[in-house]
A and B are shown apart, each in its own frame.
Chain A
Amino acid sequence: MKKIFFSILAIAALITFNSCNDDETPFDADADVLVLTRYSETGPPEFAAAYFVYANKSMQDVMVITPGGQ
């Protein structure tokens, strides 16, 4: 699954953010949480979350806190 998202999303990130990669430019980032859906091998649908953070500069660490506090 990794290639599905990163191939398309990383391109968008490069286009949008990498045009301003100097010390004078403030750090800027955008986050996206999304639902992935597929049918399980036995038939019923199953779900999972995916998380992305895109920035105009390098990051050291990113943590996500869900509405449930996890």
Chain B
Amino acid sequence: MELGADGNYTATFFKEPADEDYTSTPPTPGEYNFDILTEKNKEVLISDVLESNYVMPVEITSYALEDNTLSIGWEETASAEAYRVRFIQMTDDGENVYFATNFIEGDTLIVENATSNINYQGTPPQPGEDYTIEVMAYNFEADAEAELFYNIQSISTARRTITWE
């Protein structure tokens, strides 16, 4: 299976699934081997082990916009080690990201001054339009002590649609 680069940035190659790639069966645990052809035409082999523990999606239990403060709550899910929350708008071209956290812990996110802190290219959410709240749960490889970005074991995604008031 071939990975691809994002435009001209060829120091990172990746392959992310399309909707039709999702199945009811988790990917096979074990050693995945990566065969790299460098810019100097040298072949390099590296590998990564996929473990069998993966994190399930959270249940988003509450979300509210009051007094210009957006609050989001969720039930923590087993084996999750960190969460990220995004506020996005789905478009025909993909998604516009209005707000995104780095890794956080716990089961609640409160965003004060919502109309200032949540915006896409300076434009805040518009009343009457639909937006998506997304809570992603992460767990990491067992031996991941540092550089967590490179040692993600699994990511789950839960979404709710809200109408901005």
Give A residues with C-beta under 8 Å from B: 1-10, 12-13, 16-18, 27, 29-40, 44-68, 70
Query: A62 near B34 (CB under 8 angstroms)?
Result: yes
Q: A37-B55, A48-B21, A67-B32 are in contact. Are A5 and B11 (CB under 8 A)?
A: no
Q: How far is the CB of B126 from chain A (nearest CB, A)?
A: 21
Q: Does the CB pair A29–B32 fall under 8 Å?
A: no
Contact of B27 with A by CB under 8 A = yes
Query: Can you list 12 A-B contacts (CB < 8 A)?
Result: A4-B155, A8-B84, A16-B150, A35-B27, A35-B50, A36-B154, A46-B22, A50-B15, A64-B33, A64-B35, A65-B32, A68-B28
Contact between chains at A64 and B15 (CB < 8 Å): yes
The verdict on B71 contacting chain A, using a C-beta distance below 8 Å, is no
Query: With an 8 A cutoff between CB atoms, is B123 at the interface?
Result: no
| Given A31-B46, A35-B26, A38-B57, CB of A54 within 8 Å of CB of B38 | no
Choice from B12, B25, B40, B84 contacting A13 with Cβ under 8 Å: B12
In the complex, are the beta carbons of A59 and B48 less than 8 A apart? no
> Is B157's CB within 8 Å of the partner chain A?
yes
Most-contacted residue by chain B among A6, A37, A58, A60 (CB, 10 A)? A37
Query: B126-153 toward A: CB 8 Å interface, digit per residue (1/0)?
Result: 0000000000100000000001011111
**Smallest CB–CB gap between B36 and chain A, Å?**
5
Closest 5 CB pairs of A and B: A67-B30, A48-B17, A12-B149, A35-B154, A49-B27
Task: Give B1-31 interface residues, CB cut-off 8 Å to A.
Answer: 1-3, 5-6, 9-17, 21-31
Q: Which B residues are in CB contact (< 8 Å) with A45?
A: 24, 56-57
**Cβ 8 A contact of B57, one of A35, A39, A48, A60:** A39
Contact check, A6 vs B14: say whether CB atoms are below 8 A apart.
Answer: yes
Do A37 and B57 touch across chains, with their CB atoms under 8 A apart?
yes
Q: Which of A46, A48, A52, A55 contacts B36 (CB 8 A)?
A: A55
Q: Choose among B17, B29, B34, B158 the residue that contacts A39 (Cβ–Cβ < 8 A).
A: B158
Query: B12 → chain A, closest Cβ, in Å?
Result: 5
Residues in chain A near residue B16, CB distance under 8 A: 1-2, 5, 50
